[in-house]
Amino acid sequence: MAENLIEVKELVTSYGEKLIHRGISFDIKRGEIFAIIGGSGAGKSTLLRVLLLLKEPLKGQVLFDGRDVFSLNEEEKQALRNRMGVLFQSDALFSSVTVGENIIYSIVKRKRVPKGIACEMAMVKIQMANLPPEVFFMYPSQLSGGMKKKAALARALALDPEILFLDEPTSGLDPISADEFDKLIKEIAGTTGTTVVMITHDLPSLLICDRVAVLSQGKLVYCGEPMGLVNVDDPWLKRMVHGERGRRFLVGA
Ligand SMILES: Nc1ncnc2c1ncn2[C@@H]1O[C@H](COP(=O)(O)OP(=O)(O)OP(=O)(O)O)[C@@H](O)[C@H]1O
Ligand SMILES: [Mg+2]
């Protein structure tokens, strides 16, 4: 099996006239935890939409397992999406049904399994996300912010994805809950071998990552080990690294 699960080559994307990515290239290796960081509006979520095959680039290629994803037909694209799990920036759990039903819906929408089996699968994912079993019967409005994130993670894990995409999973959490969530991601990646792509603003979260890519002004200004960030000459990054959260990242705790 090739080492690279995803290869992005010279990607250019835009919304109308506005260019978001001006030719970016990087690889995501099988089994790694890969972070994408950058200032607000840098194009992180847009990049995620491209990797999820929800937005077509203007130019360039995205290869998944060596295949150009935008040359696939709709059925093949859907089959590929079924191998991906995603936690969007806004958790987007359906508020009118319980957490269990949220996860079951996500399973039966994409896989023909009897409801009883989907129900058991959902319960396993709730446990994997480190939530107590009663959360299965609770509504999103009855959960704390940290529990909602974990419930959304349980849903993203519903079909044992080969690759898990997380868009700002710890935003809005207090530092202790954020650390706990990071630890959980690391554990899940370690036990399942799932490749993880995590968008984050939070430098301490990079401590669980193998590599990080930095988006700035439409370009990748860095892609490599997290500790290498300290040597990158980028104004936004310098402000981040030398801020309070950055200092914690620098001491590695
Ligand atoms: N559907 C859209 N139509 C037009 N412009 C968009 C659309 N979605 C995003 N944009 C613009 O593209 C740019 C990048 O947005 P994106 O959401 O990818 O940024 P981001 O890096 O995820 O930011 P944040 O850290 O705030 O989540 C922004 O200027 C945004 O206004
Ligand atoms: Mg975003």
Q: Is ligand 1 within 6 A of the CB of residue 82?
A: no
Q: Find out whether 230 and 247 touch, Cβ atoms under 8 Å.
A: no
Per-residue exposure over 135-166, b if at least 16 CB sit within 10 Å of its own CB, e if not:
bbebebeebeebbbbbbbbbbbbbbebbbbbb
Q: In what order do the strands lie in the sheet with 67-68?
A: 18-29, 4-15, 59-64, 67-68
Q: Is ligand 1 within 6 A of the CB of residue 49?
A: no
For all residues of the chain together, what is the average pLDDT? 92
d(CA 49, CA 12): 13
Instruction: Give the pLDDT confidence score for residue 173 in this predicted structure.
Output: 87
Predicted confidence (pLDDT) at residue 253 exceeds the cutoff of 70: no
From ligand 1's centre to the CA of 42, what distance in Å? 7
Q: Is ligand 1 within 6 A of the CB of residue 42?
A: yes
Predicted confidence (pLDDT) at residue 140 exceeds the cutoff of 70: yes
**Of the listed ranges 35-44, 130-139, 194-203, 236-245, the one predicted with least confidence:** 236-245
* Domain locations along the chain: 91-160
**Where does residue 56 fall: left (phi above 0), alpha (psi -120 to 50 degrees), or beta otherwise?**
beta
Protein residues near ligand 2, an ion, with CB under 5 A: 45
Is the model's pTM score more than 0.85? yes
d(CA 31, CA 5): 9
Length of the chain: 253
* Candidate from 15, 19, 58, 214 with most ligand 1 atoms within 8 A of CB, to mutate: 15
